[in-house]
Structure 1
């Protein structure tokens, strides 16, 4: 009975019937696969839409050209690449096992995938550093963190991401060499050596994860200490009990930082834990696909976490969606009151 159901869901054909070296084609059909296609497509569309709103908002309005917003813009560009290129191609591979985009695209796709993920991680680390300086050294923040310095760090972060991914793909024979390593016509498989899995675990997960955790923990403790100091001044340096407003503000800060850290770890930990359980990983593995999509979903959550909860973004999104973006002066005047 199981075999009959499986044959109904997967129809075996050939990717290129006219080519004798063509790979076998497996097209996943059935209600479950249709629902999966629609669900993942909606995630891709939402990722593109949300990150485009962030990019247009920060790029169009000059009053939003601050160091923090430039880092959010860099994060949105990286996440936009994930939603615009990486997600649709991955959806196509989940539904149809054949690769129709050619051998050159088979080499370029892992490059775009790796660069967008690495650049997104760099942006997350830079945002954590920016918030650390803003909270721990607010008086010197404007001199330490400028638009020019932030732009330079963004360029360095993207350059490092491109360089690291090219080196990784080159030494794993997935960059350019993949044109001759496929077993049949219509196949595009990403194979990573176990030694590079360990190296990538350190560079792309342990190092940025440790930095983000340490910085946000310091930010939380400093924010609590500052809240206590402000409350002490308001109470006249007395031993009066803390007001509900102070406790509420600390609770909101703790909840926000906790949510940021939880979402980040929840999206990335399963991927790297699964990568340590096998010695040879392939992009066609279903476990690999599931945990990879958790990372992709992080690109959908990032604009929600880092932009939508900001008043300036809600105001700019309203003007963009209501087609009032041409009235820039009216919008800029409204930003002055935010």
Structure 2
């Protein structure tokens, strides 16, 4: 017996119903669409507010005007721009599987996406360099990490990603060798960045693996040095036999805190970005067969790194937490509030 339902195929929906060669639109259930919008809008708002809080704190409070914090300020600005310029349009594309904003803006959006994500990663790398001198060479830290040095870090962090992103996208070097695939999927309402085998590897190396390897290597070295210092402090306190117990406890606490902080820094960074860049490398070698939803999951996982950055590099520090409380409570509107002390006073 033939059921009539077998012959009722679901109607295909298109991104642009009246346009020739329109891309098909992915049909999702209302519940999944709502859930995706809630998660992605929540990530965008958190990224905006978190990085804006860091920007306002460093820009307003004079005690936070230090070379290190200027580096963090620039990174927060990068992540804030990502949440404003890139993430909202990526959200619509990811959920609707359609691009409604034209071919030119597709290229500009792709450039900004690559540029800001790479710039954010470069900032993380240079922050690790700053932390290296702070922990491993504290006596020369003030002379090594100066405003001009931070200026060089910022110049590299912004200029290389800008040249890399706009040069790659507008030259279309990334498509050479994959023209047949690009032509096969071309339709109105499509905005995807295709990487051939060469540029899948090169782009991932430039944007992630090179700065990521430097960053992880430096943090492992910092962790090793911090443990060595903690052991030396512990041995010294045992020899003095005076307040040895409290010093050893303080040493153990400091070591535990350093371990936890470095674990969070490296863990979040690798967890957020490694899957996306591994996919970028492997996709051309498997004939671009990666499911679209899997690509979007890994892309948004990378975006979440910009959501976590202000939490890790800002809100973990008591001075930033105090600055945030003053901003939220409205204390910044009082006269001379920009000069108030944000650091704990020790007797």
TM-score between the two structures when normalised by the length of structure 2: 0.85
**2 CA distance for matches of 1:209 and 1:229?**
30
Question: Secondary structure of 2:213's partner?
Answer: helix
Change (3 A) 1:265 1:298: same
- Alpha-carbon distance, 1:224 to partner: 1.8
**1 CA distance for matches of 2:144 and 2:204?**
31
**2 CA distance for matches of 1:218 and 1:332?**
36
Paired residue for 1:257?
Answer: 262
CA contact 2:318–2:343 (8 Å) conserved in 1: no
RMSD over aligned Cα, in angstroms? 2.7
**1 CA distance for matches of 2:303 and 2:283?**
22
Change (3 A) 1:69 1:62: same
Question: Secondary structure of 1:243's partner?
Answer: helix
CA contact 1:15–1:98 (8 Å) conserved in 2: yes
Matched, 1:223 2:226: yes
CA contact 2:72–2:313 (8 Å) conserved in 1: yes
Gaps of 5+ in 1: none
CA contact 1:192–1:282 (8 Å) conserved in 2: no
Paired residue for 1:172?
Answer: 174
Per-residue Cα deviation, 1:198-224 (whole angstroms, up to 9, x for no partner) = 112322222112211211111112112
TM-score between the two structures when normalised by the length of structure 1: 0.88
**2 CA distance for matches of 1:63 and 1:168?**
41
CA contact 2:227–2:255 (8 Å) conserved in 1: yes
- Aligned residue runs from structure 1 range 92-241, under 5 A: 92-169=92-169, 170=171, 171-173=173-175, 183-236=186-239
Paired residue for 2:79?
Answer: 79
Matched, 1:57 2:60: no
**1 CA distance for matches of 2:294 and 2:335?**
48
Paired residue for 1:300?
Answer: 307
Pairing partner for 1:277 from 279, 282, 296: 282
Question: Secondary structure of 1:73's partner?
Answer: helix
- Alpha-carbon distance, 1:27 to partner: 4.7
Question: Secondary structure of 2:295's partner?
Answer: helix
Change (3 A) 1:237 1:200: farther
Gaps of 5+ in 2: none
CA contact 2:175–2:196 (8 Å) conserved in 1: no
CA contact 1:190–1:282 (8 Å) conserved in 2: no
